[in-house]
Every structure is written in structure tokens, then in C-alpha cells.
Chain A
Amino acid sequence: MAKVTQLIHNYLRHSKRFPHVFCPGCGHGIVLGSLIRSVHSLGLAKDDVVLVAGIGCSGRIPVYVDFNSVHTTHGRALTFATGIKMANPRLTVIVIMGDGDALSIGGNHLIHAARRNIGLAALVLNNHIYGMTGGQSSCTTPLGSYSTTTPFGQLEEEFDISRVAKVCGSSFVARTTVMQARHMDKMISTAITHPGFGMVEIISPCHTQFGRKNRFKTSVDMYRWLQKKSVSLDKFQELPPEKRKDAVVTGIFEQKDCIGLEEKHARMRRELRGET
């Protein structure tokens, strides 16, 4: 296990003022480390990887890592990534979005990227809140939990990101939490190598904005809660129905063979040009 940190340091942009801007105990740093480990384990060159991010806390991740990086407008990370992938299918495009970025502002784009099944790896970092703007409730805030704009409890039902992506036709859907870093490595590398649209939902707790309002004293309490609540998909099916309610299910929800949109496009092009 040793020497992982040395490996990560080889990929960081050390001129970008470390330690990074994330709050103490934020899970986004763990995701950044996991992403670097996955890319390293796949043996991809730095120049062949493009990181596209939207706005939000998660939008800071590509700044720190030495890949080609695009920091795009709010919610439009997937559209920029679609353009990059279609223009140069040789590149490995990884999209990093927050929950507000992916489902509130860019919900439309997520649906259509999943429908197209274009060969992107989309990581949705779900922290249940709009963290950067001051802790307003987002579409993934769980029912009954507190935030700046819902001081007496959230009345709306939350979005299940993995289910949305699965229903919209994404060919690889998985959910993982930051407490299971090795599982997260595996999921991210599978999503990157998957030919179609690979979506990984990562539960990354926000203690500063979400935890403090929901009776978590420290970020460690929040991680303990996450560890307790997360169950794998196999175990979840054996659980009695009363325990299923607030469990965080992790694992692969959908994995099917498919051809990516960029591959279909290349085949059509070859066909029309008569190159067999």
C-alpha cells in the first residue's frame, strides 16, 4: 500500500497553492486521490486525459491535477465533454459534477448524455446540498433534513441520481461512497474503460454546510454515519423492509455491453466513405 501518496504527488499541480481549498473533512479530496489512482492504474498518459468540471466545490478538482482540464459554465460540463469526445474520440474524457451541477442546473444534459450513451465517464459528487453558495437545499437534500433554505425540514422528496441515469439509458451506473476508497477506485476505473456512458455517483459528505445543520458534531461523525448506513447491493436485497428505508446502497446497478456514440459515428463515417 505504501507509496500511494508519492504517486499522487506526481500528478498534482504543485504551483496551485496546496493544501487545497476544500474544507477539513470534505470528501472531495478523497475523490481526487481516487481518480488519480484509477487513471494511474489504467496506465493512461497525462496528455490523453481530459477533466471537465462545472461550477461548485467539485469544480475545483481539475485545477489541482495535471491533466488537460476544462472548467466550464454551470451545469454544462457534459455538453462541453460531448463536444470534446466527438471531436477527438482518442481522448479519455472524465466529467466531474456536483449534485446541483448535474441534476438541478444541468439535469437536462445528464438525461440526454445518458440517452446518447456517449463514451464519457461522469462522476457525480453528491453532497446533498449547494455547498459553495451557502448551504441551500438542492434536489438531492433528503426528506426532512435541514439546510439554510429549509430550516424546519425539507418537504420535497430527493432525487435518486443512479436511478435517473439508469432509467435514461446509461449503460454503466454505480454508486459508491468516499468511505470505501478501494471500491471507489474500482468503480471509477470501470467507468473510464466502459465504452458507453459510465456514471458513478459518489456520496461525499459536506460537514460545513450539511452536517452541522443535521446534528453531526464533527466530520468524523458524518463519516461514521456513512459507514454505518452504506450497504452493498447484495446485502441490501436480504435486508428486512423496515431497515431498507435510509440505507445508502452501493454497487453496480447497471452494466451492459454497448457501442459508444463516437464509435458508431466513426463506423458510419467509414461506411459512407467506402473504407469497409
Chain B
Amino acid sequence: MSGKKGETRVKIFRDWCKGCGICVAFCPSQVMKLDNQGKARVVQDDECINCGFCEIHCPDFAIMVHPREELTPFEAYIEEVRPATREDLQKTRNNSTG
């Protein structure tokens, strides 16, 4: 499973991270660190060896190990993203009940 250094990068969704520190403690090459907000942050992007430990052991699904050349889904659709309007939020809220 382990690949070469520098082929992948780690993406953290900070809204979903709860700062348990599992990824920071068990990362073999210290890619992540807890910052002053208590959440994980990528500090050494180049050191990732693609072992995949953080991705499958994150209890909150907040980490993604991604091939370096490809865009993450969020970056791929960034052109289509616009700020949410009041109507959008209303619609989302009505759909999400149940």
C-alpha cells in the first residue's frame, strides 16, 4: 500500500475535524500537527508516503489522501461554487427534515 514520497497530498476538512489527534500521533512521517485551534493541520505536505493510515482511522471522515496531480473534488468544482443565498439555505433546510 505504501507508495513513494511526494506522490500524494493530505487534505483535511477542518469543519468535520474534532481534534482527537489520532492522525497526528500515528502518522509515520509527521505530516499533520494540531494547531492552536486544536484541529489537525497539514504542515509537511511532501513527507506523505501514502500509507493510508490517517484516512481509514479518522473517526470523522475528515481526512483525504489524494494523488498530487489530480484536483480534489472540491477544487474541481470550485468554479461552480457561489455563496449561498437565503433562498438556498431555506431550500436545504426544508429538504433535510426527515
Contacts and interface: CB of A to CB of B under 8 A. Distances in A.
B32 to A, nearest CB: 13
B56 A37 contact: yes
Nearest to A17: B96
B4 to A, nearest CB: 13
Interface string B22-59: 10111000000000000000000000001110011111
Most chain A CB within 10 A, of B17, B20, B25, is at B20
Nearest to B11: A5
Nearest to A179: B57
Main SS class of interface, B: loop
A20 B61 CA distance: 10
B83 interface: no
26 contacts: A1-B1, A2-B55, A4-B64, A8-B61, A9-B61, A15-B96, A15-B98, A19-B15, A19-B17, A20-B60, A23-B18, A24-B18, A25-B18, A25-B21, A27-B59, A28-B59, A29-B60, A30-B56, A30-B58, A32-B59, A33-B59, A181-B57, A182-B56, A218-B21, A220-B20, A223-B26
Interface of B: 1, 8, 15-22, 24-26, 50-52, 55-67, 73, 95-96, 98
Most buried by B among A2, A18, A178: A2
B50 A30 contact: no
B67 A2 contact: yes
10 residue pairs, one from A and one from B, having the closest CB atoms: A29-B59, A1-B52, A25-B20, A15-B96, A24-B18, A24-B20, A220-B25, A181-B56, A5-B64, A19-B16
A27 B56 CA distance: 11
Contacts of A220: 20-22, 24-26
A276 interface: no
Contacts of B67: 2
B25 A26 contact: no
Nearest to A181: B56
A18 B16 contact: yes
A3 B66 contact: yes
B65 to A, nearest CB: 5
Contacts of B25: 220, 223-224
Given A19-B16, A24-B18, A25-B22, A2 B66 contact: yes
Given A2-B67, A223-B26, 7 more contacts: A2-B65, A15-B95, A19-B17, A29-B58, A30-B58, A30-B59, A218-B21
Contacts of A182: 56
Contacts of A6: 64, 73
B62 A19 contact: yes
A34 interface: yes
A33 B26 contact: no
A20 B17 CA distance: 10
